[in-house]
Structures are given as C-alpha cells and as structure tokens.
Amino acid sequence: MLAAGLLGCRSAEQPTARHIVIGQITSAVTLDPHGHDQAQTSITLSHFYESLVTFGSEMELKPLLAQRWESPSETVWRFHLRRGVRFHDGRPFGAEDAAASLRRAGRPDSHLRYYIQTIQDVRVIDDATLEVVTRHPAPVLLNKLVFVPIVPRDTGADPITRPVGTGPYRFVGGRPGASIVGQRFPDYWGASPAFEQVTLLPIPDARDRATAVAAGRADIVSQFPSQYWEEGLRQSNVKLVSRQGLSTVLLGFSLRAGSPFADPRLRQVVALAIDRDRIVRDALQRLGTPLDQIVPPSVAGYSSGLPLFRHDLDAARALLKQLHLPDRPIELLVADAHQEVGLEVALQLQELGLAVVPTTLPQKEFYERWSREEFPLSVIGWSTTTGDASGSYEPLLHSPVEGFGRFNRFAYSNPRLDQLIELSDQAQNPEDRREPLTAAARIVQEDLPILPLALRYDLYAGRKDLDWRPRLDRRIRAFEVRPVQNPAER
C-alpha cells in the first residue's frame, strides 16, 4: 500500500461521528441485488444484504450467513447456516431464503446468472442446512457465491425497490442514481457498526470527488481521480491512499460486420501502436502499471511466461498502409472514469495516422450505449472481483450462451476458447487449471477481441480521523470504518 498526503480543511457542515458519508461515482444503478453486476452498486447494497460467504480484506474466503461448509462429493456443496439471523422486517433467516435467492439469481434475466450457471439443483435439508448440486465439479463456486445476496424467500420476480436484507444497516431512503441512506440495524447478528447512519453519495464529477472530503461533503471517497493526485498531496487534513488492486483498463474492439475492427489486421495495428508505459506515465500519473493480460498477476489463473505485447510504431505504420480504412473517423467510446486513458489512447492512434475521435460519457450513459453494442472501439474498466481468472474470461470472452458471455459486447466467439474456459472452470486441482488458462490467454493475445492497457491503482481520499484500510476488492463499507478515539492509534 502506498499511503500519502493530506487534503484541506473541513467545513462547518461536516457529518457528525454518528453519520458517515461515502462518496462514489454513482450510488447504485438499481436497488435489486440480483438486477446488476456493477461495482458501485455492489458496494452500496452490501450495507443492506449479505451472502452465504464473503471475502476478507485480501479476498480470502470467510463465512457469512453460512458458518461452515463441506463438499461431500465433487458436485455437492453442503452449507450449515448461521442461526439467530433476522431480516430487517423481523423475519428469521433460514435455508428456504437462501434456496429462493439462488433460484432468483439464476433466472435467465438475472444479471448474476453467470456466477451460478453451474448450479443444477438447490436442496433444503432443514432450516439450517442447504445443499447445492452442480452440473459438474465447480471448485470456484464459493468465490462466485460471494456475489449472490440473500433476500427473503417470498421475494417475487419484480424488481426490488426497497431492500430488505440481513446486513448491518437497514434501508431508510433513496433511489438509484441519488443518495441512498441506511440506518444501523439494532437486531443485526454481528458486531454493531460504529456509525448509526450511512449515506452513499453519488459524485460523478471528477473535480467534485477530488474536493469532496476537504469540503466536508463526504468522509471517504473512492476512485479519487488520478489527475488531481498531486494537487491533493499539497492539501491538509485528508489522507490520500493508493493500493494496487484489481482495477484493469482494457481496450475493446467490436468484431461485428461493418466494424473496421472486424479485420484482425487493424486490431494488430492498434496492438503494435499502443505504448502502455506512456499511458501509465501521462494518463495515470504513474498511479498504475502496464498490463499484458486481461487479469493482473494477483488473480488466480494469471499466466506467467506469455510474450509481452510489442510496441513497434514502424511495424504498425507498415501494416496500416496495407489496409482500407473507413472514410469517417472511428469513434472511441469512453466512460468518464477513464477519460484520461481514453484521450491518451486516441492521441496515440492519431499520431499513428488512424483517425480516432473519443466520445466521453457519464458512467450510466456509457454503460447503456456499450450494452447496446453501439461502438467500434471502447475503453472499459473491469475488475476480476472473484479473485479468479474465470471472473474475466467467462463474462467477457465466452460466447454468449447459458449464462456465459454476459458482458461479451464485442461479437467475439471462439469455440476453442469456450472449451478452454469451461475446462478450467471444472478442474479441481489448481495445477490442472494452469494449462487451459494459459492456452486461453494465448488465444486472446492472438485474436485480440480485447487489448489490455493498464492496471490502475485504487485511489481514495478520507478523513484523517477515520480508521479504515482499503480492500483488495475495492469495497468501502461503513461497518468496516471506525472513528479514531485516540490520536496514538494512528
């Protein structure tokens, strides 16, 4: 962890010790925990909902609503559930709630389906025991269950608009895209949070996020903009923290008919032209590191020993001369959170002689256009939040079928890659996963549906009188923060 720096004075409007405000690019895109797979939404809803298992700060698996588990066979997981847990409406939690939640999350229209598409059946043994039967060995299932929140058993298929979970905070108000407020749940089964109330505050503007803590609008802010890092270091009373996490920046190509990047030679031109060191230096202010695969080295399944991407402008220009380019400039779609990277990519390709025009949009608008596949070229952010390479390969690069390829917006399909992804997902022994994952990484390097750019560090600003540590999975949760009572604690 790199910790540094200090940010400005707090205004008279600062929240009291009873109230904590967490600033994010957005608060949530929905209040339905099964209706999204979006990072900020997961952080917000983790205050209200819990899953069977969870991750510790370094993504080690830990019990949550399941106290313990075992695998009596290669295709059965048995969970022993925590007793004495209540939902926010007072009802007791039991195995029927967990079973109903897994079934709801596995519906064809669920955004979480790809996490649990290996589940064949869910069996309630008794009120405190649940068995999950998979179609084949699924050794990474526990990592994926972290992302399946538990809702009451009678929750219908309609979108949830008022969360009712078992978490340390109960929902008291707010809506997607606006501030969302939670109140400490007095009957919570676990340790009581230090703060009585939490507000998840959307701060989409980069400049506003850079000054929110200093101005007293927030107590902690995630995704502090790298372009304001040096300025932040010159201010006081706010702690800036950087750590290497899982946040990758990728360049995605549309392979659809009519896209200039349906020609693999043009994708190769871009791969040769991109200077990753320059992206890290100029766009990320050195708060990152070049990336040669779609997953970073900290993720299980990262393939060591693969050739690095070659930066060779002369070779790129020579190949570009052989191609027939479109008459109009090529649009590069960029979310505002990655604006600096998008501008740098566009600049490098323009210097090559490729007419590329960046379009920067707020996250919500970007996601809507990207989901409709209305782009030839896009800069996207992705985190392998399961801690396993399957968390990137399955949703991004597998052909869209049976829950796989949920975020494959590139019109990319390679049957051999699909086979390798599925084979690695079923391998019980980590050594048996290495070969198919390495082969998969080689195919991605050759086909280039996605070009890895950089691993950007996770950046935060926070009040100096708060005790908290950034997690590997980038989640900031109010119940993991406490006020510093004694300066000697720091």
Determine which helix (DSSP H) or strand (DSSP E) holds 334, and give its type and residue range. Answer: strand 330-335
The CATH code of the domain that includes 82 is 3.90.76.10
**Rounded to a whole number, what is the largest CA-CA distance in the chain?**
69
Q: For tokens 């990152």, what's the residue?
A: 288
pLDDT tens-digit profile of 259-301?
999 999 999 999 999 999 999 999 999 999 999 999 999 998 8
User: What is residue 2's predicted lDDT score, i.e. its pLDDT?
Assistant: 35
332 and 439 assigned to the same domain: yes
- Buried/exposed 66-81: b ≥16 CB within 10 Å, e otherwise: beebebeeebebbbbb
pLDDT band at 17 (very low <50, low <70, confident <90, very high): low
Task: Give me the CATH number covering residue 206.
Answer: 3.40.190.10
> Do 360 and 339 touch, CB atoms closer than 8 A?
yes
Among candidate residues 166, 128, 131, the one with its CA nearest the CA of residue 49: 166
Conformational region of residue 36, where left means phi above 0, alpha means psi within -120 to 50, and beta covers everything else: beta
**Residue 368 is assigned to a structural domain of this protein:** yes
pLDDT at position 488 over 70: no
Do 402 and 446 lie in a common domain? Answer: yes
pLDDT of residue 233: 86
Strands 169-174 and 129-134: unpaired
Question: Residues 328, 430: one domain?
Answer: yes
Residues 167 and 241 occupy one common structural domain: yes
Is residue 39 situated within a structural domain?
no
Q: Above pLDDT 70, what percent of the chain?
A: 96
Would 49 be classed as within a structural domain?
Answer: no
pLDDT value, residue 486: 64
Please indicate, yes or no, if residue 338 is contained in any of the structural domains: yes
Strand blocks (E) in 384-438: none
Q: 88 and 211 share a domain?
A: no
Q: The CATH number of the domain where 305 resides is what?
A: 3.10.105.10
Whether residue 490 has pLDDT greater than 80: no
Mean pLDDT score, 133-160: 95
Domain of 205 in residue numbering reads as 2-28+163-245+457-489
Between 91 and 404, the more confident residue is 91
Q: How, if at all, do strands 330-335 and 66-73 pair? A: unpaired
Tracing tokens 């959170």 back to the chain, one arrives at 337
Split at pLDDT 50, 70, 90, the class of 12 is very low
Residue spans of alpha helices (H) in 353-414: 363-371, 390-396
> In terms of DSSP H, where are the helices of 28-117?
39-45, 95-105
The answer to whether residue 134 is domain-embedded is yes
Q: What is the pLDDT of residues 148-187, one digit of tens each?
A: 999 999 999 999 999 999 999 999 999 999 999 999 999 9
Of 68, 69, 160, whose CA–CA distance to 111 is shortest? 160
- Last-in-domain residue among 145, 177, 207: 145
Please tell me whether residues 10 and 58 are part of one structural domain: no
- 86-107: burial string, b at 16+ Cβ within 10 Å, e else: ebbeeeebbbebbbbbbebbbe
- Is 79 a domain residue? yes
pLDDT in tens, 346-357: 999 999 999 999
Average pLDDT of the residues in 128-147: 95
- Confirm whether 293 is domain-assigned: yes
Instruction: Give the pLDDT score at 218.
Output: 97
Please indicate, yes or no, whether residues 452 and 463 belong to a single structural domain of this protein.
no
φ and ψ at residue 7, rounded to 5 degrees: -125, 150
- pLDDT tens for each residue of 37-73: 888 999 999 999 999 999 999 999 999 999 999 999 9
Give residue 457's pLDDT band: very low, low, confident or very high (50, 70, 90).
very high
Would the pLDDT of 10 be above 50?
no
pLDDT at 31 over 80: yes
CA 443, distance to chain mean position in Å, is: 24
- Global pTM value: 0.86
Whether residue 317 sits in one domain with residue 331: yes
Measured from the Cβ of residue 340, the count of other Cβ atoms closer than 10 Å reads 22
Write 88-91 long-range contacts (CB < 8 A, 24+): 88/48, 88/163, 88/164, 88/165, 88/166, 88/167, 88/170, 88/171, 88/185, 89/152, 89/164, 90/187, 91/152
Reply yes or no on whether the pLDDT at 403 is more than 90: no
Domain identity same for 437 and 477: no
Report residue 3's pLDDT band, with 50, 70 and 90 as the boundaries. Answer: very low
Query: Is pLDDT of 8 > 80?
Result: no
CA distances from 243 to 56, 76, 341, 396, 433 (A): 16, 37, 19, 25, 28
Inform me whether the pLDDT recorded for 433 exceeds 90.
Answer: no
Q: Is residue 48 assigned to a domain?
A: no
Q: Is the CB of residue 112 less than 8 Å from the CB of residue 100?
A: no
Name the average pLDDT for the chain: 92
Tell me how many domains the chain contains.
3
Lowest pLDDT segment from 134-138, 403-407, 451-455: 403-407
**Do 235 and 321 belong to one domain?**
no
User: Residues 13, 63: one domain?
Assistant: no
As a whole number, mean pLDDT of residues 407-427 equals: 93
Quick check: 258 pLDDT over 50? yes
Note whether 311 and 279 are same-domain residues: yes
